[in-house]
Amino acid sequence: MDVQKYIPDGASVNTLATADQTEVGRTILHALGVEIRRRDRMSRKNPRVNTENMRDDIRHKLGEIDGLEWLGRLVTAARDTVSGKPAKEDET
C-alpha cells in the first residue's frame, strides 16, 4: 500500500508508524482489534444474506470488517515506509 497516497505529509507518516509507541495510539489500535474480532465473531455466528436489511447481510458485515482492517494495514504500511521497505501492492 502506498501510504503517501493517503497521508502525503511525511511527518504524519512517521507519527502513524509509531502509533503503538504512544498511549493514545495503543488505546486506539487495541480498540480497533477488539472491534474487528467482535464483528468477526458475530458474522461467523449468524452469516446470512439479507436483501431486506443490508446491515444484517453478511456481505455488508464483511465489508465493515475489511474497512476496519484497512486501518491496521495503513499503520503497517506507514511502518514499512519509515523503515524503507518497498510498498506492498495495494489491495484496496
Predicted local distance difference test score (pLDDT) of residue 9: 87
pLDDT given for residue 87 in this prediction: 75
The per-residue pLDDT for 91 is 52
Task: Using alpha carbons, list the distances in angstroms from residue 63 to 8, 38, 39, 67.
Answer: 26, 14, 11, 6
Taking each helix axis from N to C end, the angle separating 58-83 and 10-17, rounded to the nearest 10 degrees, works out to 110
Neighbours of 20 (CB within 10 A): 12
Mean pLDDT, 10 residues at a time, the chain of 92 residues? 90 94 96 96 90 89 95 94 82 49
Query: Residue 68: what pLDDT?
Result: 96
Its pTM stands at: 0.82
> CB-based contacts of 53: which residues, under 8 Å, 6+ apart?
none
Domain borders along the chain are 22-83
85 phi/psi in degrees, rounded to 5: -70, 145
